[in-house]
Amino acid sequence: MQQAIDIWLSAASFAAIDRQLRTHLSPTDEIRCIFTAVDRTLLRLPWHLWQFFEDYPQAELALSLPEYSRAAKTSTVTRSHINILAILGDQQGIDIERDRQLLAAIPNTNLKLLIQPDVEQLTEQLWQQGWDLLFFAGHSSSRGVGRIQVNPTTSLTIEQLRYGLKRAIASGLKLAIFNSCDGLGLAWDLADLQIPQVIVMREPVPDRVAQAFLKSFLIAFSNGRSLYGSVRQAREQLQALETEFPGATWLPVLCQNPAEVPQSWREWRREPQPAQSLPDREALLRGDRSLRWRFLLAGSLLVTGCLLGVRSLGLLQPAELWAFDQLLTLRPPEAPDDRFLIVTIDEADIQAQNASDRRGSLSDAAFNQALEKLESARVIGLDIYRDFAVNSNLPQLANRLRSDRRLFGVCKSAAGADDPIGIAPPLEVPSDRIGFSDFVTDEDGILRRHLLLLSPDPAASCTAPYAFNMQLVFSYLAKARISARFSADGNLQFGDLILHRLQDQTGGYQSIDTRGNQLLLNYRSRPPQTIAPSVSLTQLLNGEVSSAQIQDRIVLIGVTAVGSQDIWFTPYGNTRSQQVAGIFLQAQMASQILSAVLDRRPLLSVWPQWAEGLWIWGWTAGGMLLIRWGRSPLHQGLLMVGGLGFLTGACLLLLVQGNWVPLIPAGLGLMASGSAVVYRTSTFRR
């Protein structure tokens, strides 16, 4: 059993608590460990077998229900003797005379014995003023509800003695000892009455074990040892009986009301404290405050550990990506990128072309005429598939495609079994001016990542290693004498700017395909279609576009017609009416890189995992501290809402600066820890 308990408590979810306790506690400290659980079955486990109690000989455990409060106390009369009410119940099959003798031998006590009393006698005595200790010896049971057999014909529940017991607790009752069988049910019923402490036996107990425990406990406690220390000493002294009664040391257990501070025997007698003991009292108070801080630290670490574990399994990824999208939409707007001009081809532009000459969305004649209009452009990108040869009637177009170093075309990479070949590039455009058009989307179909390069399949129709948008970037920057290279760790680099590619378990992503070289896509505009000035193909061909709009710009030509297959969902909307044509997204991606290189506009990045863990823990612990300031549940709720608002604002500010930090995990940590504080304080007030 010892080994099984140690293996169970060595789990990662509990290890953080154990580690923090051992970090802040000393083996010489007198430690009170209170175990609580909603499931009362867990409280029956032999927690004292935890290795912690072996390593800390001054520690002892107590059990508690999760809901507790401090009973209101009436004024009590100062006295020098301890008042004990002892109930000696049904004696059938047991010897309780020894219990009476042990109680009578305690010095400086007023002992009132009730031998097999009836209900009236017992109730009358409970209403008397000033009992310090309530003792019961006899038969008891916790089957269904706790019962004590007060005489051969009468068994009583705690509920039947409720008002008398409440009066005794209010008048100063500090401890109840049930030296009887199976007493946990009695302890839980007494806990509902806010009794400070109860000592019971977990299971049926032999006479010799019960009497040996009572003797050892009373001697230790009355001689000045603390309540917890006396219970541990008396419990461990039962080991001498375990050859005859196996498991004897498991039976006694202390049940504690956490709202009460255990008192010593001297404090029970209300003896004047010597002057030199006052600093010890102050030290005790400081120790209690220190324990509360340690509990706060351990609780926040436990919540953080659970959140990090859940996050690593990918269970928070959909929520984190949703929050990321919402923050993107809240950023302040940016001006369009005037380095670009987008030529769109909609349904009207397609129908305006000669149908007999057109293959697809752009006829050779219209394409050739458009290139003539774009002579002053710096780079031209055709985001239209042309896996066929130029019409033989337009040799000048074929020559342009072969020789114009400003012109770039697209192809589509193979996509596994669904598309094992892909789409070939324009036949006349050299391979060094071809880029793949592929995008990578997340499981929800939203485009949040920028694929820069990949390892192509040499057997596919498209063998371009670089994205179409990156080919445009390379050409534009080459004219500014800025070239790309690979850093030592395989990242693409322009000057001192390194494009750190995404790794698995990065930011809110916990399980994604990171093949190739990918970045987070830092959208420039809202909505994405406003990334740059745009004109229609018809306007360009009719001479309605001025040379100033074309001069030294990157001109992108692509299809925006209804029914086009090149449409995508973005963080700015996931309905069909909000889908964005691929030509605008190509511009977004090219603009992202150019703006980072030339304008120092930040790329989106994430913190290391250890930094994100500290961030989540900070908000979890901060939530506990913040909510503790609340004077009422309403005030605490408002503080929690304010904390979440401040967290959202901080995440938005950091995102504007290029840092994607965890919002959902930190918010859950703040709410979990804050809710625990609200629950605990409201329970204490009740």
Q: Say which DSSP state 333 is in.
A: P
Mean pLDDT, 10 residues at a time, the chain of 686 residues:
74 77 84 87 83 88 88 68 87 80 85 88 85 88 82 88 89 89 85 91 85 89 90 91 87 91 82 43 47 70 90 92 95 94 94 84 93 95 93 92 95 83 92 95 94 90 94 95 90 92 87 90 90 95 94 96 89 90 96 95 93 92 78 77 92 95 93 77 52
In whole angstroms, give the CA distance from residue 361 to residue 383.
11
Of the three residues 44, 66, 88, the one that is the final residue of a domain is 66
283 found inside a domain: no
The Cα 545–Cα 344 span in angstroms is: 13
297 in any annotated domain? no
3-state secondary structure of 150: strand
593 and 640 inside one domain: no
Backbone phi, psi, residue 30, to 5°:
-90, 115
Q: Are 22 and 112 within one domain?
A: no
Distance, CA of 449 to CA of 522 (rounded, Å): 9
For the packed helices 207-222 and 97-104, what is the interaxial angle rounded to 10 degrees?
10
Q: Which of 261, 276, 175, 190 is nearest to 221 (CA)?
A: 175
CATH code of 120's domain: 3.40.50.1460
Q: Which residues contact 68 (CB under 8 A, 6 or more apart)?
A: 191, 194, 257, 258, 259, 683, 684
Q: What is the pLDDT of residue 19?
A: 81
Give the count of domains, the chain.
4
Q: Are residues 437 and 503 in the same domain?
A: yes
Give the global pTM: 0.59
Residue 356: CB partners within 8 Å, gap ≥ 6? none
Give the DSSP per-residue string, 349-413. HHHTS-TTT-STTS-HHHHHHHHHHTTT-SEEEEES---SPPPTT-HHHHHHHHH-TTEEEEEB-
Are 564 and 638 in a shared domain?
no
Residues 350 and 445 reside in one and the same domain: yes
Pair 161, 30 in one domain = no
Report residue 254 as tokens. 């202390």
Q: Please give the Cα distance from 605 to 590 (Å, whole number).
A: 18
pLDDT at 631: 65
Give the burial class of 18: count Cβ atoms within 10 A of its Cβ; 0-12 exposed, 13-18 middle, 19 or more buried.
Answer: middle
Is residue 336 in a domain? Answer: yes
Instruction: Give the pLDDT of residue 686.
Output: 46
Q: Which of 98, 508, 79 is nearest to 314 (CA)?
A: 508
Is residue 421 domain-resident?
Answer: yes
| Cβ-defined contacts of 392-396 (< 8 Å, 24+) | 393/364, 394/364, 394/365, 394/368, 396/368
Question: In degrees, to the nearest 5, what angle opens at C-alpha 14 toward C-alphas 10 and 20?
Answer: 105
Question: Domain check: are 581 and 494 in the same one?
Answer: yes
Q: Are residues 389 and 503 in the same domain?
A: yes
Instruction: Kindly report the three-state secondary structure assignment for every residue of 256-312.
Output: ECCCCCCCCHHHHHCCCCCHHHHHHHHHHHHHHHHHHHHHHHHHHHHHHHHHHHHHH
Q: Do residues 194 and 146 both lie within one domain?
A: yes
Q: How far apart are CA 274 and CA 265, in angstroms?
A: 15
> How many Cα neighbours within 13 Å face the side chain of 31?
26
Does the residue 298 lie in any domain? no
DSSP per residue, 483-525: -EEE-TTS-EEETTEEEPPP-SSBTTBSS----SEEEE----S
CA distance 529 to 583: 9
In a domain, 288, yes or no: no
Does one domain contain both 453 and 573? yes
Predicted local confidence at residue 281, as pLDDT: 43
**Is there a single domain that holds both residue 146 and residue 15?**
no
Q: What's the order of all strands across the beta sheet hosting 407-411?
A: 434-436, 407-411, 379-383, 554-559, 340-345, 534-536
Q: Which amino acid is at 181?
A: C
Q: Print the domain residue range for 61.
A: 1-66
62 and 78 housed in the same domain = no
SS3 content of the chain, % helix, strand, coil (to 5): 45, 20, 40
474-489 exposure pattern, b = at least 16 Cβ within 10 A, e = fewer: bbbbeeeebebeeeee
Report the SS3 class of residue 6.
Answer: helix
Do the domain assignments include residue 282?
no
Residue 97: inside a domain: yes
Domain limit, last residue, from 538, 570, 605: 605
Residue that is last in its domain, among 14, 48, 66: 66
